[in-house]
């Protein structure tokens, strides 16, 4: 296995697990990036000795540059630094695990530099849509899913017959910490309660998205674009155990599922090693020990974000970028104690319904829609 990796977001949950996989596979790490966590980034630099390190926060980048001046690693900052890491000549696979819209421009830049992309930054496809998929197609590079649900679908599709027999995609959702609660029962829930995910260990933003079901809404949009299917052909089922990571159904009503323990190193490793498989650091799945698997319908009325994302996908244009931008702003405000949990869904729905939808012709159109959505949210808080 020979891969030279550039890892965008190396200090986050996905990034640190990617480095664990890379170390066990003996892969070369050529670039590492972080938002502001320079202490952990310095540890990673000294261990993996990358050619380039990037800190998005320019002040922190200056501190890191001084801290590692005894190494040969070059330090850059900001969006220009992220794009440099995404297009680094010595890297052949870019794993993008940054959080939020900041991942869009580096993803497109990586495709244009003819790098294969392992994508854990779902906002890239949600907001960028055809601009991303067109760049991937035009440059003949691979776009490999890292999210557990999309990796599961990707793995199930390896046996897809050539006669387009696919009927639907079925995304599983854990239901998060608030599964089964009514709207009334969600009034007054705290940030700490929303961060208490039952199965997965993730960053704060994504964990809140899971609690609001926004994460699953974003995944519906991402799946539609990754696998070129209509939103009407994507179902969601709540599966509390997080053992089945997603399923596909064929026209003959045969259903194929991918199962595994809830550990992100499985999809991370498959994206890196595709189309081959190697021994994994993850424990073996023991179905007898698990005992049972349960399934439920999602609650589209209580969890407004899920419904808003499906509507935005059907609308097309920049509507999905609007939904994503409004959520990023509302999610942050909730984590900072400025709004209630239920207001996240209300604000995302309001932004999708209120902001003019247009057809994006370039990245700037996407960024403009994102700014308008964030402004919509802040104007109402």
Q: Give tens-digit pLDDT for 259-317.
A: 999 999 999 999 999 999 999 989 999 999 999 999 999 999 999 999 999 999 999 99
* pLDDT at 201 (0 to 100): 67
* pLDDT at 161 (0 to 100): 83
Give the span between the Cα atoms of 341 and 212, in whole angstroms.
Answer: 8
- Better pLDDT: 164 or 148: 148
Exposure class string for 325-364: b at 16+ Cβ within 10 A, else e = bbbbbbbbbbbeeebebbbbbbbbbbbbeebeeeebeebe
pLDDT at 73 over 90: yes
Under the banding of pLDDT at 50, 70 and 90, the label for residue 228 is: very high
| Rg of the chain in Å (alpha carbons) | 20
pLDDT at 160 over 90: no
Under the banding of pLDDT at 50, 70 and 90, the label for residue 150 is: very high
Under the banding of pLDDT at 50, 70 and 90, the label for residue 159 is: confident
Per-residue pLDDT averaged across 77-106, rounded? 96
Give the span between the Cα atoms of 215 and 211, in whole angstroms.
Answer: 8
pLDDT at 173 over 70: yes
Residues sharing a CB contact under 8 Å with residue 274, sequence separation 6 or more, in sequence order = 142, 144
Residues sharing a CB contact under 8 Å with residue 287, sequence separation 6 or more, in sequence order = 243, 259
pLDDT at 199 over 90: no
Q: Measured between alpha carbons, how far apart are the two ends of the chain, in Å?
A: 51
Residues sharing a CB contact under 8 Å with residue 228, sequence separation 6 or more, in sequence order = none
Write down the mean pLDDT value for the chain: 95
Phi, psi of 286 (to 5 degrees): -115, 95
Exposed (0-12), middle (13-18) or buried (19+): which is 213, by Cβ within 10 Å? buried
Pairing verdict, β 93-96 and 74-77 = unpaired
pLDDT at 202 over 80: no
Give the span between the Cα atoms of 77 and 62, in whole angstroms.
Answer: 8
Give the span between the Cα atoms of 283 and 243, in whole angstroms.
Answer: 13
Chain segment 316-359, per-residue pLDDT in tens: 999 999 999 999 999 999 999 999 999 999 999 999 999 999 99
Exposed (0-12), middle (13-18) or buried (19+): which is 122, by Cβ within 10 Å? buried
* pLDDT at 197 (0 to 100): 79
pLDDT at 227 over 70: yes
* pLDDT at 164 (0 to 100): 77
Q: What percent of the chain has pLDDT over 70?
A: 99
Residue among 114, 363, 152, 140 at smallest CA distance from 248 = 152
Under the banding of pLDDT at 50, 70 and 90, the label for residue 231 is: very high
pLDDT at 30 over 90: yes
Per-residue pLDDT averaged across 9-28, rounded? 96
Contact 199, 215 (CB under 8 A): no
Kindly report which listed range (160-164, 219-223, 280-284) carries the lowest average pLDDT score. Answer: 160-164
Cβ atoms < 10 Å from Cβ of 297: 9
Q: How far is CA 272 from the centre of its chain?
A: 16
């Amino acid at each position: 296995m020979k891969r030279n990796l550039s890892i965008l977001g190396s200090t986050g949950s996905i990034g640190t697990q990617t480095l664990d996989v890379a170390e066990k596979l003996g892969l070369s790490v050529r670039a590492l990036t972080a938002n502001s966590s320079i202490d952990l980034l310095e540890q990673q630099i000294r261990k993996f000795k990358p050619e380039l390190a990037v800190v998005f926060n320019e002040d922190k980048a200056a501190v890191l540059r001084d801290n590692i001046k005894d190494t040969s690693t070059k330090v850059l900052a900001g969006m220009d630094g992220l794009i440099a890491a995404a297009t680094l000549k010595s890297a052949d696979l870019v794993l993008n695990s940054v959080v939020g819209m900041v991942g869009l421009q580096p993803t497109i830049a990586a495709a244009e530099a003819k790098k294969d992309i392992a994508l854990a930054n779902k906002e890239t496809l949600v907001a960028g849509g055809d601009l991303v998929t067109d760049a991937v197609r035009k440059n003949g590079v691979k776009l490999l899913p890292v999210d557990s649900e999309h990796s599961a679908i990707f793995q199930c599709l390896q046996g897809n017959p050539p006669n387009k027999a696919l009927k639907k995609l079925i995304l599983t959702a854990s239901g998060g910490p608030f599964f089964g609660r009514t709207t009334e029962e969600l009034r007054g829930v705290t940030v700490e309660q929303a961060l208490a995910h039952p199965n997965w260990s993730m960053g704060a933003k994504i964990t809140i998205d899971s609690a609001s079901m926004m994460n699953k809404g974003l995944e519906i949009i991402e799946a539609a674009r990754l696998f070129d299917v209509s939103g009407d052909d994507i179902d969601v089922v709540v599966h509390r155990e997080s053992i089945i990571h997603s399923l596909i159904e064929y026209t003959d009503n045969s259903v194929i599922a991918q199962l595994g323990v809830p550990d992100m190193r499985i999809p991370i490793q498959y994206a890196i090693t595709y189309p081959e498989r190697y021994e994994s650091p993850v424990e073996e799945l023991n179905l007898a020990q698990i005992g049972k698997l349960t399934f439920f319908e999602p609650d589209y009325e209580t969890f407004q974000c899920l419904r808003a994302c499906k509507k935005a996908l059907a609308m097309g244009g920049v509507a999905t970028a609007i939904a994503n931008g409004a959520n990023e702003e509302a999610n942050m405000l909730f984590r900072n104690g400025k709004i209630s949990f239920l207001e996240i869904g209300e604000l995302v729905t309001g932004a999708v319904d209120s902001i003019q939808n247009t057809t994006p012709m370039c990245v700037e159109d996407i960024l403009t829609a994102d700014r308008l959505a964030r402004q919509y949210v802040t104007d109402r808080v």
